């Protein structure tokens, strides 16, 4: 009967994950929208330039720098912070799942989930923060 019990507890995890994802997406969308309105109010009439790739300035690339820009109320910084919140939403979901599996004492899946989390943090360049 352990399998049945496991599934029943997974159901509880699923509900929390659902709420987590929804909250993350709504929050990110609101921050991006706020930054976007701010950005267009200031730069709406200037010419657009996305045909030419320049790469983003370094202050829009890394977590710490984006947060710094957003705090200064720089409009692009605010949008980038919203996008960062969005990218962080699945990461938070994975992090939460580590605890959920640990609570179930399902150590195989704790390890599996930790590997996924490590890969995500690696890709986000987490080493720039620490």
Would you count residue 15 as binding other proteins (CB under 8 A)?
yes
CB 9 to other proteins: min, Å: 11
Residues 117-121: contacts with CB within 8 Å, 24+ apart?
Answer: 117/91, 120/90, 120/91, 120/94, 121/91
CB 109 to other proteins: min, Å: 6
* Nearby residues of 42 by Cβ (< 8 Å), 6 or more positions away: 75
- Record the tokens describing residue 12, joined without a space: 């509880």
Candidate list 1, 105, 108, 130; residue touching other proteins; CB under 8 A? 108
Would you count residue 67 as binding other proteins (CB under 8 A)?
no
Candidate list 65, 67, 73, 87; residue touching other proteins; CB under 8 A? 87
- Record the tokens describing residue 66, joined without a space: 């984006």
CB 71 to other proteins: min, Å: 15
Binding string, residues 36-65; x marks residues near other proteins by CB under 8 A:
x--xx--xxxxxx-xxxx-xxxx-xxx---
# residues contacting other proteins (CB under 8 A) = 68
Residues 100-108: contacts with CB within 8 Å, 24+ apart?
Answer: 100/13, 100/16, 104/6, 104/9, 106/6
């Amino acid at each position: 009967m352990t399998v049945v019990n496991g599934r029943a507890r997974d159901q509880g995890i699923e509900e929390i994950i659902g709420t987590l994802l929804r909250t993350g997406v709504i929050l990110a969308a609101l921050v991006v929208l706020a930054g976007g309105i701010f950005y267009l109010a200031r730069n709406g009439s200037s010419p657009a330039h996305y045909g030419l790739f320049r790469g983003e300035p370094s202050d829009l690339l890394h977590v710490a720098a984006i947060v710094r820009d957003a705090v200064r109320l720089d409009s692009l910084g605010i949008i980038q912070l919203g996008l960062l919140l969005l990218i962080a939403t699945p990461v938070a979901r994975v992090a939460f799942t580590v605890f959920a599996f640990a609570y179930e004492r399902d150590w195989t899946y704790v390890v599996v989930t930790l590997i996924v989390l490590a890969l995500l943090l690696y890709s986000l360049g987490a080493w720039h923060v620490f």
